[in-house]
Amino acid sequence: MRFSLRHVILAAWIALPAALAAAQPVFAAGGTSWIFPNPVSPNGERIYQLYQWITIPAVIVFLGVEIGLLYIIFRFRRRGPDHVGKPVHGNVPLEIAWFMAPTLIVALIATLSFLELQQDFQKPTDAETQMNITVTGTQFTWFYDYPDNGGLRARDTMVVPTDTFVRLTFESTDVIHSWWVPAISGKTDAVPGYQNFSWLKISSSKLSDCGGGSGDHTQTGCKWHGECAELCGVGHFGMQIDVEAMPQSDFQAWVAKQQAASRQPSPKASPSPKGP
């Protein structure tokens, strides 16, 4: 058989995914995986589970159709100038079947998604909330206000105690920003004019290995990283997010230290609860 371009490309096309799969440990060592970073908050965990549930039909459909395409490509070649296709114009039962099959699959996925939406995407009630943090996006930084801790305001790094249900309220002082730490949960937009809500609860058990490597160790706990996800201007890429979780005692110490620091220099330096 003649060694043609087609054979080279076909071989390359088969070799490419194999090479990518083989290179997986290399990517994974750096943290890039085909799946999310290990989630550390229950809402993030359930999103991840939903992702896995969707993956089952997705992989079946993907493999089934691609194999079907390859079968067609190799099986039904024209054998000569007189060879024409079968005179088939359609098959109503078959067409109904492949109308129904995707309908059922997406109905199932939509139902699962709806259940997860109801569970984790409502505004958290006051009863379940153990602590509040207001996240304010401003070109090009994030402010974190702690109304339950004497109006403390932190910048750049949000510090949270472990095992505490923290209600996050999102606000913006200028354009739309989006707060996203993939290891914690999905993103929420900070839109000027109204508030959005989300929550997190990081178990102390996650601190030993920082959620299976999705975060970095700090002196007293772990830090997870994210970025602003909505284009907000020339400094968009620099709107980095850090969330540091530490045990309750360390958190109280941090709060005391921050309050002392903000009281010390002059009352004016103490940041106001609202944006600049």
147-206 residues in contact with another protein (CB under 8 A) are 174-176, 178, 180-183, 185-189, 191-194, 196-197
242: left (phi over 0), alpha (psi -120 to 50) or beta: beta
Q: Which stretch binds another protein (CB under 8 A): 70-78, 150-158, 215-223, 256-264?
A: 70-78
The residue (of 64 and 150) whose beta carbon lies closer to another protein is 64
Cβ proximity to another protein: between 160 and 181 the closer is: 181
Site for another protein in 231-270 (CB under 8 A): 231-237
Side-chain half-sphere exposure of 136, counting CA atoms within 13 A = 18
Contacts of residue 142, defined as CB under 8 A and 6 or more positions apart, other chains included, come to 135, 136, 155, 156, 158, 177, 179, 228, 239, 241
Rounded least distance, CB 270 to another protein, Å: 26
Q: Counting contacts by CB under 8 A, is residue 227 touching another protein? A: yes
CA dihedral 33, 35, 38, 44 (to 10 degrees): 150
Using CB under 8 A, which residues numbered 94 to 133 contact another protein?
Answer: 94-95, 98-99, 101-103, 105-107, 109-110, 112-114, 116-118, 120-122
Range 38-57, binding another protein (CB under 8 A): 46-47, 50-51, 54
Q: Which of 68, 147, 212, 213 binds another protein (CB under 8 A)?
A: 68
Query: Cα–Cα distances in Å, from 122 out to 88, 135, 167, 168, 199?
Result: 52, 17, 11, 12, 10
Are the beta carbons of 159 and 135 closer than 8 angstroms?
no
Q: Which of 9, 22, 56, 253 binds another protein (CB under 8 A)?
A: 9
Angle at which helix 92-120 crosses helix 42-75, to 10 degrees, equals 160
Size of the site for another protein (CB under 8 A): 100
149 or 188: CB nearest another protein: 188
